[in-house]
Chains A and B, each alone.
Chain A
Amino acid sequence: MANFFNNKARAAAVAATNGASSAKGAALKESQNLQPWVEKYRPKSLNDVTAQDHTITVLQRTLQASNLPHMLFYGPPGTGKTSTILALAKELYGPEMFRTRVLELNASDERGISIVREKVKDFARMQLSNPPPLYKDRYPCPPYKIIILDEADSMTQDAQSALRRTMETYSKITRFCLICNYVTRIIDPLASRCSKFRFKMLDQGNAKMRLEDIAQNENIKLQDGAVDKLIKCSEGDLRKAITFLQSAARLVGAVKTSRSISNVNSKKRGHENDEDEDAMEVDGIDESMVTIKSIEEIAGVIPNNVIDGLLHAMQPRSKGAVYEAVAKQVTDLVADGWSATQVVTQLYQKIVYDDAISNRQKNKIVMQFSDVDKRLVDGADEHLTILDLALQISGVLAET
């Protein structure tokens, strides 16, 4: 319990220093306004991370025990893997020590075997730098460094195996954190050295709360049901949802210079910067709203009537007529630039939930879907592939 209070005291200390250097903060603010919201609303502390309760509880505990295992975070995109580790590192080291204690490598950095051998190893065996006096009161600064290997599934097998021994040898002063989408692409010896944290898809409730929070902070009016639509379009990917929200907001021109927003922020976070208070000027509140339609447009969702048109064309009738109808629909679809993957996904949704189609037929159709999906991923021609899919499906539908 004592530790818990200690953390609070630290947070208070942080607030104090930030207040002092608010001139610097104002400059920072300006550049922040240009940032994508995804960055702007990246969780600043572990408590802010949404929905990953289990992981967060475990990490909170390690934060207090000041010991950390090697970690492997995995899960679908946009669930907060990178955010979590960055938030954790910030809480552990604070802004000053962050640079010397944390090495972040992602797929944008060269990560071949030579880099693992040199850069990573060098960093791993580097002696710990001492925190400045009094610093320890504010941040725990545990006696180890963290190496974050983001997008680790894009590392080569060789590079991964070069890590094996490094991880063990320097485990006294270095912890590794691997982040990946597909845990299967991490070689077993590495996976067994880490404690694994699975990041699950965000559930509706949490994602909704977060989005509404952001919308409120940014002064955006949402149409009823718009948030639900956002969540549906983004398929559990919060980053996608936030990007969509921001784009939608830009499109309706609902974003004003975020003066008033920073106010909301400073109230909420307490430590952002306090001198903004006097700059509080209420922007002219505009009536423009983010509508469901604009969200659909941004997300590239195909309107229902287009898909229905295609489905209708696929209904069995005399053979030649089917081809003509389907071919016309598909040509229009392709010329309108709808992405083939989107067509496949939406068509799939429609067909799977269509009760008029028997299970045996669905079975066959789904086979087609998987085949087509593979082809599209391989980069086959969209027009031919979609046409093939549509004709095959209509063939199956015609069977009795």
Chain B
Amino acid sequence: MALLVDKYRPRSLEALTYHEDLSERLKSLAQSGDFPHLLVYGPSGAGKKTRIVATLRELYGPGVEKIKIDSRVFQTTSNRKLEFNIVASVYHLEITPSDVGNFDRVVIQDLLKEVAQTQQVDQSARQRFKVVVINEADHLTRDAQAALRRTMEKYSPNMRLILLANSTANIIAPIRSRTLLVRVAAPTESDICTVLKKVGAQEGWAEAEGLNRRIAKDSARNLRRALLMFEAVHAQNEKVTDKTLVPPPDWEALVAQIADEIMAEHTPARLLQVRAKLYDLLSHCIPPTTVLKTLTFKLIPKIDDALKADVIKWSAFYEHRIRMGSVSDFRISTFSTDEVF
């Protein structure tokens, strides 16, 4: 049995529920015959991937859903061997170059050229070109992005790229100027409610509108999260009503607890306790950025209005530091120290 998220994932552009004008646009692009390179961006859980898969289906027909997983070995200049997984159908390839970290350039150079230099094998295919979907394009290194530049132009008759990213900030300008930017906004809370209602009806679950609305609010406009929460609630309770509690993920509960502790007492001893808890979180592989962000937003309602701007300032500051790659737990503890005093 599949998760609800997968079970009810729309398969065609017509089945997508929100952003009708965007779906319409993608459809007209797919049908027009000359499909541009795309850069699809938007927050997570907004349905970027679903849209792309649906678009591919529109381009090539149901054949794109027959996928297989290939494992390829690449060799870097320093003769190191890299293993790399590719999800492929006859018509398209899907890669996540950030899997191989700093060596993503090698993959981009080798793989894309190889793909681009051959034409579509299947003569009956609807399109002359193949599509390469690149996941997490915003995590590509500068080198890899630079490698994309000329490839995109030179081999455009044989290949189209679809880049998926959370934000365009890390994409270099030359790439941005070669692609059509497609923004996928997160669904609104009422959009989420509609989806939840539909899914609930199909599963035959009793409807609880208040609960749906609460889930939509808690999910922070992330449809995937909302669906998972929805499923969790229904799995844990036999009968749901408007008042059923939505269980937060346990790490979130812990962060909330930390926030409470920080506010309750401002002593060095308490600081040590908080620190231990933060270590605990980090050792469970919760990304430091997420911890910091959640902590900040849990703290905000509890503190004085005058301090809010400062807290945000330091939070943003340390978040940046974390990105720059220093010891992250140190940053978070410093951050909480700042809060305390």
Minimum CB–CB distance for B142 against chain A, Å? 7
Mark out the residues of chain A between 229 and 276 whose CB falls within 8 Å of any chain B CB in the assembled complex.
234, 237, 239-240, 243, 246-247, 250-251, 253, 255
The answer to whether B150 touches A339 (Cβ under 8 A) is no
The answer to whether A110 touches B109 (Cβ under 8 A) is yes
Question: CA of A395 to CA of B306 in the docked complex: distance in angstroms?
Answer: 11
Given A298-B180, A341-B168, A380-B323; A250-B43 close (CB under 8 Å):
no
**Contact residues in B for A243 (Cβ distance below 8 Å):** 36, 177-180
Minimum CB–CB distance for B285 against chain A, Å? 18
Selecting from B199-207, B252-260, B313-321, the interface stretch reads: B313-321
Minimum CB–CB distance for B39 against chain A, Å? 9
The answer to whether B33 touches A34 (Cβ under 8 A) is yes
The answer to whether B170 touches A379 (Cβ under 8 A) is yes
* Residue from the list B28, B154, B169, B296 in contact with A250, Cβ < 8 A: B28
The answer to whether A379 touches B77 (Cβ under 8 A) is no
User: Interface residues of A, CB < 8 Å — how many?
Assistant: 66
Mark out the residues of chain A between 321 and 349 whose CB falls within 8 Å of any chain B CB in the assembled complex.
323, 327, 334-342
Question: CA of A380 to CA of B292 in the docked complex: distance in angstroms?
Answer: 12
**Contact residues in B for A318 (Cβ distance below 8 Å):** 305
A360 beta carbon closer than 8 Å to chain B: no
Question: CA of A107 to CA of B34 in the docked complex: distance in angstroms?
Answer: 26
Minimum CB–CB distance for A59 against chain B, Å? 21
Question: CA of A208 to CA of B31 in the docked complex: distance in angstroms?
Answer: 29
Question: CA of A251 to CA of B109 in the docked complex: distance in angstroms?
Answer: 31
Residue of B whose beta carbon sits closest to that of A388? B316
The answer to whether B147 touches A107 (Cβ under 8 A) is yes
**Contact residues in B for A114 (Cβ distance below 8 Å):** 77
The answer to whether A237 touches B177 (Cβ under 8 A) is yes
Residue of B whose beta carbon sits closest to that of A36? B156
Number of A-B contacts (CB under 8 A): 179
Question: CA of A112 to CA of B78 in the docked complex: distance in angstroms?
Answer: 11
The answer to whether A335 touches B109 (Cβ under 8 A) is no
Given A112-B77, A239-B178, A378-B323; A320-B167 close (CB under 8 Å):
no
The answer to whether B150 touches A375 (Cβ under 8 A) is no
Question: CA of A185 to CA of B11 in the docked complex: distance in angstroms?
Answer: 47
**Contact residues in B for A112 (Cβ distance below 8 Å):** 77
Main secondary structure of the interface of A (DSSP, over half): helix
Mark out the residues of chain B between 165 and 181 whose CB falls within 8 Å of any chain A CB in the assembled complex.
167-170, 173-174, 176-181
**Contact residues in A for B320 (Cβ distance below 8 Å):** 375, 378, 380, 385
The answer to whether B169 touches A340 (Cβ under 8 A) is yes
**Contact residues in B for A380 (Cβ distance below 8 Å):** 316, 319-320, 323
The answer to whether B305 touches A319 (Cβ under 8 A) is yes
* Residue from the list A378, A385, A391 in contact with B309, Cβ < 8 A: A391
* Residue from the list A39, A106, A337, A385 in contact with B156, Cβ < 8 A: A39
The answer to whether B168 touches A300 (Cβ under 8 A) is yes
* Residue from the list A250, A377, A391 in contact with B312, Cβ < 8 A: A391
The answer to whether B173 touches A336 (Cβ under 8 A) is no
Contact with B along A281-298 (1 / 0, CB 8 A): 000000000000000001
The answer to whether A339 touches B149 (Cβ under 8 A) is no
Question: CA of A251 to CA of B25 in the docked complex: distance in angstroms?
Answer: 6
The answer to whether A239 touches B177 (Cβ under 8 A) is yes
The answer to whether A247 touches B186 (Cβ under 8 A) is no
**Contact residues in A for B305 (Cβ distance below 8 Å):** 318-320, 323
**Contact residues in A for B168 (Cβ distance below 8 Å):** 300, 339, 341-342
The answer to whether A377 touches B184 (Cβ under 8 A) is no
B269 beta carbon closer than 8 Å to chain A: no
* Residue from the list A33, A299, A334, A378 in contact with B34, Cβ < 8 A: A33
**Contact residues in B for A394 (Cβ distance below 8 Å):** 309
Question: CA of A181 to CA of B33 in the docked complex: distance in angstroms?
Answer: 33
**Contact residues in B for A300 (Cβ distance below 8 Å):** 168, 181, 183
**Contact residues in A for B300 (Cβ distance below 8 Å):** 323, 327
Contact with A along B124-151 (1 / 0, CB 8 A): 0000110000000010001100111111
The answer to whether A339 touches B169 (Cβ under 8 A) is yes
Question: CA of A255 to CA of B36 in the docked complex: distance in angstroms?
Answer: 13
**Contact residues in A for B289 (Cβ distance below 8 Å):** 381
The answer to whether A109 touches B109 (Cβ under 8 A) is yes
**Contact residues in A for B319 (Cβ distance below 8 Å):** 380-381, 384-385
Residue of A whose beta carbon sits closest to that of B28? A253
A392 beta carbon closer than 8 Å to chain B: yes
Mark out the residues of chain A between 8 and 50 whose CB falls within 8 Å of any chain B CB in the assembled complex.
31, 33-36, 38-39
Question: CA of A395 to CA of B309 in the docked complex: distance in angstroms?
Answer: 8
B46 beta carbon closer than 8 Å to chain A: yes
The answer to whether B183 touches A34 (Cβ under 8 A) is no
B32 beta carbon closer than 8 Å to chain A: yes
Residue ranges of B at the interface with A (Cβ–Cβ < 8 Å) = 25, 28-29, 32-34, 36-37, 41-43, 46, 77, 108-109, 112-113, 128-129, 138, 142-143, 146-151, 153-154, 156-157, 167-170, 173-174, 176-181, 183-186, 220-221, 289, 293, 296, 300, 305-306, 308-309, 312-313, 315-317, 319-320, 323-324
Q: Can you sample 25 A-B contacts with CB below 8 Å?
A: A34-B34, A36-B153, A107-B150, A110-B77, A237-B173, A250-B28, A250-B29, A250-B36, A298-B180, A319-B309, A323-B300, A323-B308, A334-B43, A335-B185, A337-B42, A339-B168, A339-B169, A377-B169, A382-B167, A383-B293, A385-B319, A387-B316, A388-B312, A388-B313, A388-B317
5 tightest A-B contacts by CB?
Answer: A320-B305, A388-B316, A337-B42, A240-B177, A107-B146
- Taking A107-B143, A237-B177, A251-B25 as known contacts, 15 extra A-B pairs with beta carbons closer than 8 A to each other, sorted by chain A number, are A34-B33, A36-B156, A151-B146, A181-B174, A323-B305, A337-B184, A340-B167, A342-B168, A375-B323, A376-B169, A379-B169, A381-B289, A384-B315, A384-B316, A388-B315
